[in-house]
Structure 1
Amino acid sequence: MVATDTRRAGAPTRTRPGPGGSWPALRRRIWRDRYLLLLISPVILYYAVFHYGPMLGAVIAFKDYSPGLGVFGSPWVGFANFVEFFNSFYFERLIRNTLLLSLYSLLWGFPVPIIFALLLNELRGKLLKRAAQTISYLPHFISVVVIAGMLVTFLAPADGIVNNLRALLGFERIDFMSNPDYFRSVYIVSGIWQEFGWGAIIYLAALAGIDPHLYDAADVDGAKRWQKVLYITLPSLVPVMVILLILNSGNLMVVGFEKVLLLYNPAVYETADVIQTYVYRRGIVSSDYSFAAAIGLFNSVINLALLLIVNRIARRVSETSLW
């Protein structure tokens, strides 16, 4: 007996929900992983409510938003807010300050955790190693407000510890916080000091995963300590370094808003005013919500473009990329 297909031509067929199989199979997998899904549900809810939900409000960047009319009741203005920002007197200054602060922070701050992790990895005394790790991690847990207060106090021109030391050595006192030439240095150096210990954690984890037999083989071949670092340790860190570099490149147009806001003043706007602080002044202080939303949307698009470009370059140059 020959089996025949009893389905009629044109009869609707039940579609599969995806590559995983039929709906009953999907329900079984959901029931099987119910506890894992329940565990991750708060994170999903957080991102849905506080990250993806507010994206709907980005539409006000193309409107003349009025709180009385609401988001969808306000009149459309198209790209007028973007054109106003591009033609603004502050456009060039904001882009320059944001990029310079980000690039300098990346240029000087990116290698420091790597060097620190390599130095810690070479320490033989466990007590000294743990003490160094603990001391270096502590600044990360200090609030940005406290850090800014410490900087203002230490760099005060009259009685700050830095200026007191300069006066003791015969140098003149400097008002660091009111001099635009020093703002970038203060911002970058304080940021490196606060984050280099915490940033070294991931590199220490990568170092712990290196096969110790590689070092044993290097010892047999007579390799010196610096040769093992150069030919074993550093190449093992390259994938982690590339991934972190890609992630950092996606934040080139994002500067620590809170820290800049707490440290800057009108006297240093020339080098300190960045896109985020300008958005704050126009959007919150001046209540120009549509204009501020347009600037924020422009900033996000540039960050996304930079992330895609750097990831593509990393994939072409090396075998490591985000996707």
Structure 2
Amino acid sequence: MAKQKQQKNHLGKVNLGKHLKKEWMLYSFLIIPVLYYIIFKYIPMFGNVIAFRKYSGGPNIFGQKWVGFRYFKQFLKDPSFWNAFRNTLTLSITYLIFRFPITLTFALLLNEIRNLKWKKFVQTVSYLPHFISMVIIAGMIKEVVSLTGPINTMIESLGGEKISFIQEASWFPPIYIISGIWQGLGWGTILYLAAMTGINMELYEAAKVDGANRFKQAIHVTIPGIMPTIVTLLILDIGGIMGSNFEKIILLYLPSTYETADVISTLVYRMGISGGNFSYATAVGLFEGVVGLILVVTANLVSRKVTEASLW
């Protein structure tokens, strides 16, 4: 038995070596993304040691005074942290609740379009906002909801009073969620549409024979066929709940909207980059990363038991 296992391992290594030698040009495309993650994702993780040291700047992050969990205790007692933590969960979960089913529904509707020219036109129009710079997106949002924008113009024409949407804390979540759905709706359908192309067309033919209409075909054939993709994307979205859209929020929020707009990433930016409290900001960022990891692992375990589909 031991000899057989050794022979299998040897054959596996030989086959893998031959495959890598044969497809080296294909695997060479992995060099850049692998280097990207090593340089910009894994190496910076050593900087998390700052959260346990009294860091005041400079390249020697390991030579600073060790203070243990001092900054973790500090931010856990900070009301501004808990406000940012609550806002992060509120914005991310609400956005996920609305965006996920809307994106899936839009993908199903796109898949039902039989006119290829019209389908390409709809896809192009829906994809376009994703490629617009976030700075331009934020500028467009501010113009639309400004006192002289189209929304307030319509409100005034109907006899109402103008609303300063961008300066009122209560209006920030709707602005963030609606604009996010508009910006990512088309782009979010790409993986769904790609998964739909792999569904066996004979299943649709069988459903037609059984008398299923388009709606029933989507429910009983299309959705089960792309369920692994749905589950995978849902797990990734749950894991990203703690990571709100930093660029968009920091371009839109104001001190008057901190109550509902300030999230963990903007708090880290203000405390670390703007305020110079690097250790405190690193501790908050590390806490955010750990919570995100727990969410991903938990969602993956639940998905594996419930749907038998998971990331690993």
TM range (shorter): over 0.9
TM-score of the superposition, structure 1-length normalised?
0.89
Aligned equivalents of 1:105, 1:292: Cα separation in 2: 25
Which of 74, 77, 86 in structure 2 is aligned with 1:87? Answer: 77
SS of the aligned residue for 1:243 comes to helix
Which of 196, 205, 208 in structure 1 is aligned with 2:197? Answer: 208
Which of 121, 126, 133 in structure 2 is aligned with 1:143? Answer: 133
Aligned equivalents of 1:179, 1:241: Cα separation in 2: 36
State the match for 2:36 in structure 1: 46
* Contact 2:81-2:267 within 8 A present in 1 as well: no
* Contact 1:94-1:274 within 8 A present in 2 as well: yes
State the match for 2:307 in structure 1: 318
Deviation string, structure 1 residues 168-188 (Cα, Å, up to 9, x no partner): 122211000111111000000
State the match for 2:263 in structure 1: 274
Aligned equivalents of 1:195, 1:30: Cα separation in 2: 37
Aligned equivalents of 1:213, 1:23: Cα separation in 2: 39
Moved more, 255-264 or 229-238: 229-238
State the match for 1:167 in structure 2: 156
Q: What is the aligned length? A: 306
Does 1:35 find its partner at 2:25? yes
State the match for 1:218 in structure 2: 207
Decide which structure has the larger Cα Rg and report it.
1
Which of 131, 150, 167 in structure 1 is aligned with 2:121? Answer: 131
Task: Name whichever structure is richer in helix by fraction.
Answer: 2
Aligned equivalents of 2:14, 2:111: Cα separation in 1: 52
Distance 1:33 1:218, change over 3 A: closer
Does 1:295 find its partner at 2:284? yes
Deviation string, structure 1 residues 95-135 (Cα, Å, up to 9, x no partner): 11000000001000011111111111122222211111111
CA RMSD in angstroms comes to 2.1
Runs of 4+ that moved beyond 4 A: 18-34
Aligned equivalents of 2:124, 2:58: Cα separation in 1: 52
State the match for 1:189 in structure 2: 178
Structure 2 unmatched ranges of 5 or more: 1-5
Aligned equivalents of 2:21, 2:114: Cα separation in 1: 50
Question: Which residue identity does 1:84 align to in structure 2?
Answer: Q
Deviation string, structure 1 residues 50-88 (Cα, Å, up to 9, x no partner): 111111111111000122472011110000010000011
Moved more, 178-187 or 23-32: 23-32
Question: Which residue identity does 1:39 align to in structure 2?
Answer: F
SS of the aligned residue for 1:199 comes to helix
Structure 1 unmatched ranges of 5 or more: 1-15
* Contact 1:155-1:177 within 8 A present in 2 as well: yes
Q: Report how far residue 28 of structure 1 moved.
A: 6.8
Q: Percent identity of the aligned residues?
A: 45
Moved more, 33-42 or 160-169: 33-42
State the match for 2:68 in structure 1: 78
Deviation string, structure 1 residues 139-181 (Cα, Å, up to 9, x no partner): 0101111010011111111x11110111112221100011111
Aligned equivalents of 2:218, 2:13: Cα separation in 1: 53
